Amino acid sequence: MKYALVQDMIDRFGEAELIQLTDRAIPPTGSYVAEIIEENLNDAEAEINAYLANRYALPLAEVPTILKRLTCDVARYHLHGSNLTEEVTQRYKDSVAFLKRISKGDASLGINQDSGTSPTVENVPEYFGAERIFSNDSLRDYSD
């Protein structure tokens, strides 16, 4: 389940800003490019998942409202590229700081940590070997 959609970006930041950030045609078309926004939303989701991975089973079965805001702020930051404003930069820094708090366990998304779906693992390598020759017991009397 996606954390945020193109419409969420439009609702939060306005169509005019998204046109300015994504309309790279010459001459400009006067409309936003949904594919560019979606690509940045996917990148933002991956960045967020890197922080959530050690606390929550991914992918999340339910998406808390706060993740929509965080995803939009992170995607917006990356869309701005080298034309960052102080507000965009601060919102990104605040989002990352919150994600770090979640990662450390100092904050929560308000959902069950096991509410995600675990990926199915197949063809896992197995290890078989001989019994250990050296152990704590067999080396107990050894001294330098």
Contact between 36 and 79 (Cβ < 8 Å)? yes
Considering the domain boundaries, does residue 109 fall inside one?
no
Residues 6+ away with beta carbon under 8 Å from 120: none
Considering the domain boundaries, does residue 25 fall inside one?
yes
Cβ-count burial of 86 within 10 angstroms (0-12 exposed, 13-18 middle, 19+ buried)?
exposed
Considering the domain boundaries, does residue 113 fall inside one?
no
Write out the residue range of the structural domain in which residue 81 sits.
Answer: 6-104
Work out how many domains the chain is built from and give that number.
1
pLDDT given for residue 19 in this prediction: 97
pLDDT given for residue 124 in this prediction: 64
pLDDT given for residue 118 in this prediction: 45
User: pTM value?
Assistant: 0.75
Q: What is the pLDDT of residues 47-60, one digit of tens each?
A: 999 999 988 989 88
Considering the domain boundaries, does residue 43 fall inside one?
yes
